[in-house]
Amino acid sequence: MNNSLDFSQEDFKSLLDKSTALVLKQFDDVLSKDGYHYFEQSEVESWFKEDVPEEGMPIDDLLQLVEEKVINTATGNAGPNMYAYVMAGGNQVGIVADKLAATINQNVAKWHLAPAITEIEKRVIQWAAEMIGYGKNVGGFLGSSGSSANLDGLTVARNIYFEKQDIRKKGLFGMKPFTVYCSDETHNSVDKSIQLLGIGSDQLRHIPSNADFTINLTELEQQIEADIQKGFHPFCIIGNAGTVNTGAIDDLTALSAIAKKYDLWFHVDGAYGGLASALASTRKLYKGIELADSVALDFHKWLYQPFEVGCILVKDWSYLKRTYFKKASYLDNSLEKADGRLEFNEHHFLLSRSAKALKVWMSVKAFGIRRIKAMIQKDIDLATYLSDQVTKANDFRLVADSDLAISCFQYTKGLTDPEQIIRLNQSLIPALEKDGRVFITGTKLKGEFVLRACLINHRKTKETTDYLLDVIRDVGRDM
């Protein structure tokens, strides 16, 4: 045995072949995969409960353990029976790319630590901007998620907007409270970001949404005026390019105009729906996104990437550098004598970072954006199909459909009492989880509990969508 952690080439090949066989096996039956595999929490915990192992185990036994306890029990994100939250099914090029990225183990902190990957990440950022019509030569960064992209956008917003007050040096001490505005349908990563940034959730105004779940513009302006009267300093509006509950898209042009009128930063949360603005059929709904100062996107949603990869876009690279740059002797690049090297660590809080861009770049190169857009359109069409089926059925009630790929409804089972219907739907969630054939979660719309189906998986079909309603009926029948 050699004195490193490496296997012989022969043993490594055998391990790779076995892992490839495991990957392939996942796709033998991907279209009929259950949405969920129910086990008690204590049972899952018991599988892994052990002291740190002093000695290693045979790799074949380990692979078998992983197959049994991890792969075979995994939540069925890849398959078409997942409707919960916003779970895209990944894609096969992404699987290969992540393996290759781990192999070269690049650290995209500094240009010379990852020359090709740095340039690829820059390219992916420009492609994302091109897809949503955000402009050319914009700045950006690939982080972990939509949540991190919202935090990134709002961090840049705070640091650039209050740059003259030297906020990075002085902190928020002694400043007049500044206020932020978003609709009451906004994702909670915005609330978390506002808390993390020291602005405080008391200063985040959740403006009531209209019947279509978009922000009420009149109430927004009234609130801004009222805050000015009370001595607050309004500083930022957050628009939604697809809310998490229903996919509602705010009037981004109007929000941008209000931001301009009151001299505010304009951030757009496009984590769920931003990339769908690339479609001819929906582009007009997103008019005004190009006017945002920052836009949060999420490639593990509508670019079908394996978790995890999110993206913040800002109008100019300098925004990022002015927000984050901190000189350090051990990161100094003055001796590198090369122009044009973009140092990602100077443009973000993170230093060490994986090659997230590789899977995005390889997927877009392999499929082409036309095919990816066709898949997004298919998701949207299937959600419309689902809403139509719900409307036609006499044992379901459509509560909200969407311009994007979400349908919110209730199973009524012929009941008419709203309280009873809500209780039935609330108890359906754990019952469906136990059943496992489909995985769907719920939410509240204007206070009313509904089942929420999010269709964001290129493997879905009309048949798998019908199956969702059949399973709900089947499980609900006995309740």
Ligand X SMILES: Cc1ncc(COP(=O)(O)O)c(C=O)c1O
Which of 81, 106, 118, 145 forms a contact with ligand X (CB under 6 A)? 145
Residue placing its CB nearer to ligand X in the complex, 18 or 192:
192
**Residue 363 engages ligand X in binding (rule: CB under 6 A):** no
Binding residues for ligand X, rule CB under 6 A, total 15
**Residue 310 engages ligand X in binding (rule: CB under 6 A):** yes
Between CA 11 and CA 240 the distance in angstroms is 51
Would you give the DSSP letter of residue 323? H
Sign of dihedral through CA atoms 450, 456, 459, 463? positive
Q: Is 247 helix (H, G, I), strand (E, B) or coil?
A: coil
Give least dist CB 98 to ligand X, A: 17
Whole-Å CA distances, 471 to 38, 78, 435, 475: 16, 19, 9, 6
Residue placing its CB nearer to ligand X in the complex, 289 or 475:
289
Stretch that binds ligand X, among 124-132, 240-248, 258-266, 323-331 (CB under 6 A): 240-248
Q: At what angle do helices 317-324 and 146-161 cross, to 10 degrees?
A: 80
Residue placing its CB nearer to ligand X in the complex, 357 or 424:
357
Query: What are the backbone dihedrals phi and psi of residue 263, each rounded to the nearest 5 degrees, phi first?
Result: 60, 55
Give least dist CB 187 to ligand X, A: 3
Between CA 212 and CA 205 the distance in angstroms is 19
Counting every residue written for the chain, the total comes to: 479
Between CA 244 and CA 298 the distance in angstroms is 12
**Residue 147 engages ligand X in binding (rule: CB under 6 A):** yes
Residue placing its CB nearer to ligand X in the complex, 184 or 221:
184
Q: Report residue 283 as tokens.
A: 């582009």
Would you give the DSSP letter of residue 249? B
Give least dist CB 134 to ligand X, A: 17
**Residue 187 engages ligand X in binding (rule: CB under 6 A):** yes
Between CA 67 and CA 90 the distance in angstroms is 19
Give least dist CB 126 to ligand X, A: 21
Q: Report residue 458 as tokens.
A: 């290129």
Residue placing its CB nearer to ligand X in the complex, 303 or 428:
303
**Residue 278 engages ligand X in binding (rule: CB under 6 A):** no
Which of 83, 134, 272, 396 forms a contact with ligand X (CB under 6 A)? 272
Which of 78, 82, 86, 151 forms a contact with ligand X (CB under 6 A)? 86
Site residues for ligand X per CB under 6 A = 86, 145-147, 150, 187, 189, 242-244, 269, 271-272, 298, 310
